[in-house]
Amino acid sequence: MGIRDQQLTTALTITAVAAGISVVAWKVSRRGRDKGEKQIKYSLQYAGVRGSLPALYDHTLTPIFTGESPKVYSIGGNGTSAAHLEVWVLDSALNKWEEILPASTPDTGASVFVKRARHAAAGVGKAIYVIGGYTDKTMGDVLKFDTDKEQWSTPSFLGDLPSPRSSHSATVVGKKVYVFGGIGEKAALNDVHILDTDTNTWSTPTVLGEPPAPRYSHSAVLVNDDRIIIYGGHNTSALDDIWFLEVGTPHVKKQRGFLQKDVVAWSKGVIGDSPQPVVICGPSGVGKGTLINKLMKEHPQEFGFSVSHTTRKPRNMEQDGVHYHFTERPDMEAAIQEGKFLESADVHGNLYGTSIAAVEAVADAGKRCILDIDVQGAELVKKSNLNALFIFISPPSFEELEARLRGRGTETEEQIEKRLKNARKEMERSSDTTLFDHLLVNDNIDVAYEELKRILALDTAAPNCGEQTEEFQPDGRWAHSASVVNSKVLIYGGLKDGGKAVDDMVVLDTSGLKNGAPGTSRGLFWTRSVPKCEFRKYLCLSPTLSPRFGHRVVSLSPTDILLSGGFDGKQALSDSVVLSVEER
Ligand SMILES: Nc1ncnc2c1ncn2[C@@H]1O[C@H](COP(=O)(O)OP(=O)(O)OP(=O)(O)O)[C@@H](O)[C@H]1O
Ligand SMILES: Nc1nc2c(ncn2[C@@H]2O[C@H](COP(=O)(O)O)[C@@H](O)[C@H]2O)c(=O)[nH]1
């Protein structure tokens, strides 16, 4: 089969080394949902050197699962020596690397592989798709490697292939491969392409939301099985932003059904929790606005009002942008079609709605968002990913409601009649505990206000702030690696501005992930993984694991990560190391 054995060094095995080498533990505490200290501890254990590849970087590592332990294929890359840079395989059960000399294809009589680096590779079933890359020019071809036959082919695809690019990402979700970004022939890219390996078709989906800036040498890994987390990369400088490309979230599935097209959605990652929003509902004239005004006046730093859009005309004292964004129906309908609204409804003959931007603005100010919306809107928010607290305000009697509405003197008789009619329907929902968490009767305003404050203070589900006791924001980096263990994204090495290779690991904790498209993805936390000295001590068991970039990682199991190769600034590296990550 053309496999040439390479002499391998297997001086250390996983069990031999892992035993007894307690390496590092680190702790991050934060104030959050539990209002106490939350500790995240890992210990990383050096697990063994598993043979050696040629010294190389900017290659790809692709796992193919045939049994319990995968085979990992290293393809292409740059190396100190130009030879032996086609395909290598690590049989993780046998613990050894072997070079594969791919079988020739009948039409060419030779392997169709064209030497390349900074390409992307995606393993689906037993096939590996190699997309683009760079030799002496940027490449746009797509090759397929059959791991059973150990043979390359150049498949004919339907649809348009991604434009030539290198240092892009290709992430496998089911049988689809999502290609993002990279650097093209002229500039960095931020486009998304999908390869459906079932139909051999390339397509460009409808992309919802604001995309990240163009970038290359970023990392892309799948989290929650339904979104790809993109971190860092380079454009004109090292990037430190976090993005989610949602490919199978409920929002994306809903939009797919609605638009009858393939849809993906961008959501920007935000560090820290935002306080739980509060939805205040109740019939017109019950006193929602009066209660909210009191709350905002007494706690201006804690609460922020979500300024709705409406097609209703302004009342005397109402200011545009403060009480409402007063708008024309066609404009508002167009914005709703563009997906800019969290909810919208026809209320008493006018269109009202909460824009995503209105809620984001309050959350960005670190305040707890108050939404004053009708029951239809509350139902839609309930179905969204806002995770709000729902309060229904009820009048002591229908007569009192009518008296308040008339006493306010802001509506015509016709409008009052309409609002009272709708009030009866809304009141029927007041005790629906599937929708509302609290029912508050506004009889005496001072008593009702105290009750509202009690509800808000007693809501233990609501984090009071997103503050981390250990504030930490890593510098941007590119040509790093990322892998996921238990919702934690382990980011290792890479380059920082100034062009220096680094050897630190930072961890992005996504276990508290909230919200998402069509808004931001909140609840992320950075943790400083391993104190550097400890990590070095740990690493000194493997003297060759030095600062590096252009290395590659791949998950061998839910807890074991294989890291191989890279460039330390002077030379290509040939080591392969398994990090065994234990969370306690
Ligand atoms: N507990 C109360 N006792 C007596 N009057 C009240 C009480 N609460 C509010 N009001 C009065 O009732 C009227 C309606 O209140 P408000 O405008 O706050 O209602 P709302 O629920 O916000 O109405 P809408 O949904 O139409 O905006 C106002 O004149 C207000 O001063
Ligand atoms: N579904 C939504 N309902 C909203 C929104 N903003 C306000 N409202 C509700 O409309 C009525 C009437 O308000 P008014 O200011 O004309 O008296 C009231 O019940 C509000 O709760 C919204 O964005 N979405």
pLDDT at 438 over 90: yes
Q: How far is CA 583 from each of CA 45, 107, 523, rounded to the nearest angstrom?
A: 11, 51, 20
Whole-number Å distance, alpha carbon 273 to ligand 2 midpoint, is 27
Residue 451 CA: which ligand is closest? 1
Q: Is the CB of 423 under 6 A from ligand 1?
A: no
Query: 244 has which bridge partners?
Result: 229, 267
- SS3 percent helix, strand, coil of the chain, rounded to 5, is 15, 35, 45
Whole-number Å distance, alpha carbon 226 to ligand 1 midpoint, is 44
pLDDT for res 21 = 23
Q: Name the least confident of 24-28, 469-473, 571-575.
A: 24-28
Contact 333, 309 (CB under 8 A): no
Query: 341 has which bridge partners?
Result: 355
Between 541 and 303, the more confident residue is 303
Q: Is the CB of 352 under 6 A from ligand 2?
A: yes
CA distance 537 to 531: 10
**DSSP structure string for 522-556:** EEEEEEE-S-HHHHHHHHTTSTT--S-BS-EEEES
Whole-number Å distance, alpha carbon 202 to ligand 1 midpoint, is 57
Question: Phi then psi for 327, rounded to 5 degrees?
Answer: -145, 165
Residue 286 CA: which ligand is closest? 1
pLDDT for res 17 = 25
Q: Name the least confident of 5-9, 506-510, 574-578.
A: 5-9
Q: Which of 370, 399, 404, 449 to mutate to test the pocket of ligand 1 (most atoms within 8 A of CB)?
A: 404
Whole-number Å distance, alpha carbon 352 to ligand 2 midpoint, is 6
**Identity at 218, one-letter amino acid code:** H
CA distance 309 to 383: 20
Whole-number Å distance, alpha carbon 513 to ligand 2 midpoint, is 30
User: What average pLDDT is seen over the chain?
Assistant: 85
Instruction: Give the fold, CATH level 3, of 6-272+471-583.
Output: Neuraminidase (2.120.10)
Q: Which residue has the tokens 């690590």?
A: 90
Q: Is the CB of 457 under 6 A from ligand 1?
A: no
pLDDT for res 106 = 72
Q: Is the CB of 282 under 6 A from ligand 2?
A: no
pLDDT for res 10 = 21
Whole-number Å distance, alpha carbon 405 to ligand 1 midpoint, is 7
Q: How far is CA 563 from each of CA 18, 228, 265, 377, 540, rounded to the nearest angstrom?
A: 16, 21, 31, 49, 15
Q: Is the CB of 306 under 6 A from ligand 1?
A: no
Query: Which numbered atom of ligand 2 lies nearest the CA of 280?
Result: 21
Q: How far is CA 487 from each of CA 484, 507, 513, rounded to the nearest angstrom?
A: 6, 10, 9
What's the rounded mean pLDDT across residues 17-30? Answer: 26
Q: Name the least confident of 18-32, 203-217, 418-432.
A: 18-32
| Reported confidence tier of residue 219, pLDDT bands at 50, 70, 90 | very high
535-559 per-position pLDDT tens digit: 332 333 444 468 999 999 999 888 7
Q: Is the CB of 289 under 6 A from ligand 1?
A: yes
Q: Which of 293, 355, 373 to mutate to test the pocket of ligand 2 (most atoms within 8 A of CB)?
A: 373
Query: 154 has which bridge partners?
Result: none
Residue 448 CA: which ligand is closest? 1
CA distance 405 to 419: 9
pLDDT at 192 over 60: yes
pLDDT at 280 over 70: yes
ipTM for the assembly: 0.99
Nearest Cα residue to 254 out of 516, 487, 512: 516
pLDDT at 250 over 70: yes
Q: Which residue has the tokens 């109402």?
A: 318
89-117 per-position pLDDT tens digit: 988 877 778 899 888 777 777 778 999 99
H or E element: which one contains 416? Answer: helix 413-428
Sorted by sequence, the CB contacts under 8 Å of residue 438 that are 6+ apart come out as 389, 390, 391, 392, 455
Q: Is the CB of 373 under 6 A from ligand 2?
A: yes
Q: Which of 305, 391, 408, 426 to mutate to test the pocket of ligand 1 (most atoms within 8 A of CB)?
A: 408
pLDDT at 528 over 80: no
Q: Is the CB of 415 under 6 A from ligand 1?
A: no
Enumerate the H helices of 299-355 as residue ranges.
329-337
Enumerate the H helices of 276-412 as residue ranges.
288-298, 329-337, 356-364, 375-383, 398-408
444-476 per-position pLDDT tens digit: 999 999 999 999 974 444 443 333 344 578 999
Query: 576 has which bridge partners?
Result: 564
What's the rounded mean pLDDT across residues 191-213? Answer: 97
Q: What's the 3-state SS for 230-242?
A: EECCECCCECCCE
Query: Which numbered atom of ligand 1 lies nearest the CA of 374?
Result: 25
Peptide bond into 518 cis (omega under 30): yes
CA 71 to chain centre: 28
Contact 203, 196 (CB under 8 A): yes
pLDDT for res 422 = 96
Residue 287 CA: which ligand is closest? 1
Q: DSSP state, 216?
A: B
CA angle 171, 177, 181 (to 5 degrees): 60
- Please determine whether the domains at 6-272+471-583 and 278-455 fall in the same fold group of CATH: no
Q: Is the CB of 409 under 6 A from ligand 1?
A: no
For residues 250-279, one letter each, b for 16 or more C-beta atoms within 10 angstroms of the residue's C-beta and e for the rest, the string is: ebbeebbeeeeebbbbbbbbbbbbbbbbbb
Q: Is the CB of 406 under 6 A from ligand 1?
A: no
Catalytic residues: 315, 408, 419
Q: Which residue has the tokens 């003959």?
A: 349
Percent of the chain with pLDDT over 70: 85
Q: Is the CB of 387 under 6 A from ligand 1?
A: no
Query: Which numbered atom of ligand 2 lies nearest the CA of 309?
Result: 23
pLDDT for res 537 = 29
Residue 425 CA: which ligand is closest? 2
Question: Which segments of 247-388 are extended strands (E)?
Answer: 263-271, 278-281, 303-305, 309-310, 325-326, 341-347, 350-355, 368-372
| Reported confidence tier of residue 15, pLDDT bands at 50, 70, 90 | very low
* Among protein residues, the one whose CA lies closest to atom 29 of ligand 1: 408
Q: Which of 286, 316, 419 to mutate to test the pocket of ligand 1 (most atoms within 8 A of CB)?
A: 286
**In the CATH scheme, what architecture does the domain 278-455 have?**
3-Layer(aba) Sandwich (3.40)
| Reported confidence tier of residue 578, pLDDT bands at 50, 70, 90 | confident
35-85 per-position pLDDT tens digit: 333 333 444 444 444 556 789 999 999 999 987 789 999 999 999 777 788
Q: Is the CB of 286 under 6 A from ligand 1?
A: yes
* Among protein residues, the one whose CA lies closest to atom 3 of ligand 2: 373
Strand order in the sheet with 120-124: 120-124, 127-134, 138-146, 151-153
pLDDT for res 96 = 79
Contact 244, 522 (CB under 8 A): no
CA distance 306 to 321: 10
pLDDT at 517 over 80: yes
Q: Is the CB of 347 under 6 A from ligand 2?
A: yes
Query: Which numbered atom of ligand 2 lies nearest the CA of 308?
Result: 23
Q: How do the domains of the chain map onto residue ranges?
A: 6-272+471-583, 278-455
